[in-house]
Amino acid sequence: MTALQMFCKCSDMIFRLILGLQRRVAERALDRRIRRRGWTGVYIGDYGAAPAWAYTLGFEETLDHPEILVFDVPPASAANLFDRVFRELRAGELIIEDGLRWPAEEPDAGVWRKVHPGYLGEWCTLACLRRLRMTGKRYGLEAFQYVLGDAAHRMPWEPGYDERLRPLQPALYRPPEAAVTPVAADGAL
């Protein structure tokens, strides 16, 4: 083995070690936040970019409840939503079901939709990895998407919804297109 090959091999080992240490430090920080308040939020993208989203870690282990996810809101709004939902779930004031309009008394209420499992690995990656680390189970994570209406309070599945908003809020409650093939749709092999 040449000196250059030896250097490259050592550099690769050091790089992997550093990445492993960074991952463990990040996992410990998430663990501390979840122990302290029962959940933490993960924020992806820039608000106003297509798409930007946020989801929870800790609802499953703290409340035995699916994680929640929301698109196209600033991080502070997502944190407020997560905190309110966590408190209401813990107090027994809220039971999230697919199709539930919440908060019902507000005119601009959103609707809870159950996320199709085919999307979880892509959109809730850290929640899936955390579940694997905490339970040893790769599958079984569940989540609900808080779907927001347009300026006229129409939901994406309602006629007249503002189509300009659709790219900002993917419909994770619908099966992935890849899961429905022409062969599978008609039952033929």
Do residues 19 and 95 both lie within one domain?
Answer: no
- Is pLDDT above 70 for 2? no
Do residues 69 and 134 both lie within one domain?
Answer: yes
Do residues 50 and 79 both lie within one domain?
Answer: yes
Direct distance between the N- and C-terminal alpha carbons of the chain, in angstroms, rounded to an integer: 53
pLDDT at 27: 81
Q: In terms of pLDDT, which residue wins out, 21 or 27?
A: 27
Q: What does the pLDDT look like over 163-186, one tens digit per residue? A: 999 999 999 999 987 444 343 344
pLDDT at 184: 37
Do residues 13 and 82 both lie within one domain?
Answer: no
Give me the number of domains the chain comprises: 2
Do residues 31 and 44 both lie within one domain?
Answer: no
- Tokens representing 108 are 């601009």
Q: pLDDT exceeding 90 applies to what percent of the chain? A: 67
Do residues 133 and 172 both lie within one domain?
Answer: yes
pLDDT at 67: 97
Q: pLDDT exceeding 70 applies to what percent of the chain? A: 80
> Hunting for tokens 């408190």 — which residue is that?
87
pLDDT band at 17 (very low <50, low <70, confident <90, very high): low
d(CA 112, CA 132): 25
Q: Give me the count of residues in the chain.
A: 189
pLDDT band at 3 (very low <50, low <70, confident <90, very high): low
Q: In terms of pLDDT, which residue wins out, 84 or 21?
A: 84
Which residue(s) pair with 71 in the sheet?
53
Do residues 8 and 45 both lie within one domain?
Answer: no
Do residues 52 and 8 both lie within one domain?
Answer: no
Residue span of the structural domain in which 146 resides: 38-186
Quickly count: other Cβ atoms within 10 Å of residue 132's Cβ.
Answer: 14
pLDDT at 107: 87
Do residues 172 and 162 both lie within one domain?
Answer: yes
CA angle at 20 for the pair 19 and 21, rounded to the nearest 5°: 90
Do residues 86 and 130 both lie within one domain?
Answer: yes
Do residues 93 and 3 both lie within one domain?
Answer: no
Q: What does the pLDDT look like over 49-83, one tens digit per residue? A: 778 999 999 999 999 999 999 999 999 999 999 99
Do residues 88 and 128 both lie within one domain?
Answer: yes
Distances (CA, A) of 162 to 71, 75, 165: 15, 23, 6
Mean pLDDT estimate for the chain: 85
